[in-house]
């Protein structure tokens, strides 16, 4: 079940994030403030996927300005851009539609609130890129980010729009 995240679920989300970090190195570096990382200042809404009281996944919608090459491919009639962010599922919940359900909930919210979605995926997450592409998301642009990969090199980020 996908629900808006409640304040009381943040600790369980941190536990889930720890599982993901240990399995996938996502995020690239463990945040000093995991609760803050899960709740960025520009967050508009957060969701969790839960089963039997356990957090299986998490996602956030953020106010964010996409790079111009992404904006040029957006349809202004669909509303203002918002970014899918902090989307993850614990390893044990993968291949069960959890991430897809999170994205479906986000897409419905975006339409209801007059927004269009975009997202970015780091180069070091090829599985995530394949997942989005299987769901029909279209790669539209890549650039180097203003943060560093685990090896200290500039991180390459790929931007996607829904198909």
**How large is the greatest C-alpha to C-alpha distance in the chain, in angstroms?**
43
pLDDT tens over the chain, length 163 residues: 999 999 999 999 999 999 999 999 999 999 999 999 999 999 999 999 999 999 999 999 999 899 999 999 999 888 999 999 999 999 999 999 999 999 999 999 999 999 999 999 999 999 999 999 999 999 999 999 988 888 899 999 999 999 8
Spans of all domains in the chain: 2-161
Instruction: Catalogue the E-assigned strands of 32-153.
Output: 43-51, 54-62, 80-89, 115-122, 138-148
**Model confidence pTM above 0.85:** yes
Which of the following CATH numbers is that of domain 2-161: 3.40.630.30, 2.60.40.10, 3.40.50.2000, 3.20.20.100? Answer: 3.40.630.30
Q: Which of 138, 122, 7 is nearest to 74 (CA)?
A: 138
Residue 29, number of CB atoms within 10 A of its CB: 11
- Distance between CA atoms of 50 and 20, rounded to whole angstroms? 15
């Amino acid at each position: 079940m996908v629900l808006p995240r409640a304040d009381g679920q943040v600790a369980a989300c941190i536990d889930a994030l720890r599982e993901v970090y240990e399995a996938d190195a996502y995020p690239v570096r463990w945040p000093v403030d995991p609760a803050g990382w899960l709740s960025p200042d520009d967050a508009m809404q957060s969701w969790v996927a839960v089963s039997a009281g356990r957090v299986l996944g998490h996602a956030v919608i953020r106010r964010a300005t996409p790079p111009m090459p992404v904006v040029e491919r957006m349809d202004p009639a669909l509303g203002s851009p918002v970014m899918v962010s902090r989307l993850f599922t614990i390893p044990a919940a993968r291949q069960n539609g959890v991430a897809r359900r999170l994205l479906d909930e986000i897409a419905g919210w975006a339409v209801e609130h007059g927004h269009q979605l975009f997202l970015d995926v780091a180069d070091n997450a090829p599985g995530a890129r394949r997942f989005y592409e299987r769901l029909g998301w279209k790669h539209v642009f890549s650039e180097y980010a203003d943060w560093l990969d685990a090896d200290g090199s500039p991180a390459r980020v790929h931007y996607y729009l829904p198909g």
